[in-house]
Amino acid sequence: VNVDANSFTSEELKKALAKMKASEKAERKVSFLFLKQCTVRKKFRPIEQLKEEFEKLNMKIETDYEIMVKLISKFNSSASTLDEKVAALYDLEYYVHQV
């Protein structure tokens, strides 16, 4: 749109109005997503914060990934008995099945 002109054609006005509506929709969408993200952040705490709080209570919270790594290392360990390896495989099957 030619902004230096004293008058505008109807086509120029239509184009400018369409651009304003599109930018307004984009702004609304961004603000909606931001508000939604803020409400989610208010509801839930980050995993790092939860881990710190549980450590203060002498509780160690492990993710499924951490547990699976331990089970695999237990299975691969030569010090583990046959029963421990079988138990590790059963436990690992449970966690893999969830994924």
47-51: Cβ within 8 A, 24+ apart: none
CA distance 96 to 36: 32
Residues 16 and 40 in one domain: yes
Residues 16 and 43 in one domain: yes
Regions in the chain scoring below 70 on pLDDT = 1-6
The pLDDT of residue 3 is: 58
The pLDDT of residue 72 is: 94
Average pLDDT for the chain: 82
Report yes or no on 54 lying in a domain. Answer: no
Domain that holds residue 77: 62-98
Give the pTM.
Answer: 0.46
Report yes or no on 53 lying in a domain. Answer: no
The pLDDT of residue 18 is: 79
CA distance 53 to 46: 11
The pLDDT of residue 83 is: 93
The pLDDT of residue 10 is: 76
Residues 41 and 70 in one domain: no
The pLDDT of residue 84 is: 93
Q: What total of structural domains would you count in the chain? A: 2
Report yes or no on 71 lying in a domain. Answer: yes
